[in-house]
Amino acid sequence: MAPVGSYPPVSPIVAGLRCRCPRCGEGRLFKGYLTLVDECEHCGLHLADSDSGDGPAVFLIFIVGFLAVGLAIWVEVTWEPAVWVHALVSGGFVIGLSLLLLRPAKAYVMALQYRHRRDEFEG
Ligand SMILES: [Zn+2]
């Protein structure tokens, strides 16, 4: 384990997309779907008490909602399907994209918290 100050800065976007530790960019951030590891396996950063709150969900509500409305308009203009088709297409799109993006969004918010409030992570 290297001393705390010896890690080069990690881009929050890269750490978020890879779901990696915000300090070293190498260790896994999650031990389940959204459960954080207690500490980084690579650098030892304590992560068990970290909390990203509702930030990742709010990001996704805006992003996925915007895309879902665009998809619904495009499907309606292109095929004019029945309402139940809209429910299936939009529902599947929203649920699938949300599940796909929630982990990277949470990792991204954790990386931003580490960058701007590092003392909360390192005591
Ligand atoms: Zn680490």
Q: Which pLDDT score, from 0 to 100, does residue 113 have? A: 93
Give the C-alpha distances (Å, rounded to integers) separating 104 from 45, 60, 65, 76. Answer: 19, 11, 17, 31
Name the residue ranges covered by the structural domains of the chain. 4-122
Q: Which pLDDT score, from 0 to 100, does residue 3 have? A: 60
Q: Which pLDDT score, from 0 to 100, does residue 4 have? A: 56
Average pLDDT, the chain: 93
> 30-73 pLDDT, tens per residue?
999 999 999 999 999 999 888 888 999 998 999 999 999 999 99
Q: Which residues surround ligand 1, an ion (CB under 5 A)?
A: 21, 23-24, 27, 40, 42-43, 45
Q: How far is the CA of 109 from the centre of ligand 1 (A)?
A: 16
Q: How far is the CA of 46 from the centre of ligand 1 (A)?
A: 9
Q: Which pLDDT score, from 0 to 100, does residue 1 have? A: 60
